[in-house]
Amino acid sequence: MGTALITGGSAGLGLEFARQLAAREHDLVLVARNEDRLNEVAEELRSAHRVAVEVLPADLSVPDDVARVAKRLALVGGRPEDGGARPVGLLVNNAGFATGARFATGRVTTERRGIDVMVRAVVELTHAAVGQMLERDQGAILNVGSVAALTAGGTYAAAKAYVRTFTESLAVELKGTGVTATLLSPGFTHTEFHERAGIPESAIPGWGWLDAEYVVRTALADVRGGVVLSTPSVRYKLAAAVLRSAPRWAVRAVGKYR
């Protein structure tokens, strides 16, 4: 997979992706809004694993920032015009957030920012990466979705539903090339994601939680195996199967009481 670019790479699943990939001696490009935090993580990984780590501060709700990240992804590498940068062989579109608020009473600016980060940026960054990957006939796209994509769980679920369909469509288009597309659909995972959204972990039964280390290890194994839909754990594979087969009125009824 060569060099990996990870959005949201300074915390949560993104940080776990960075640590596991660095441990496998992959060079990294880390993207997040907090430059100080990015530099701390980069220094940790350089010291622990002797890998090269680029830091690329960016807010993926800002078009100019997305364009800067896309420019880095588009570099084929090995050419003078690329400035010696190595091409990105794995793009992990991980950045995202949930607000915990209902759509009708929340801020529309927050909803719009979520769409910018979890839909628009995913499309633009994937397009930039796939171009150079196809030129080199190798590479992988890993989009972080959610089992929530199969629910009626607000605009977060709607954004993840878009990412799910987008990734599957991309996988069909890329079939027969040296480039793959994988969708990771985790369930509830122990990170600071839910705390930031104002959703207490106590609201979820203990059996519903997954460890970030396990989720990331499963996802990376599925990327290496060319798997399109990666759903860690038997319990969430079953949950996804139930949600896919259940009549939509029943899914909506569950969403009504969330």
Indicate which residues carry an active-site annotation. 156
CA distance 183 to 168: 8
Cα(142)–Cα(43) distance, integer angstroms: 24
In the DSSP assignment, the letter for residue 1 is -
Amino acid symbol at 107: R
b/e sequence 66-100, b meaning 16+ C-beta within 10 Å: beebbebbbbebeeeeeeeeebbbbbbbbbbbbbe
HEC sequence for 125-155: HHHHHHHHHHHHCCEEEEEECCHHHHCCCHH
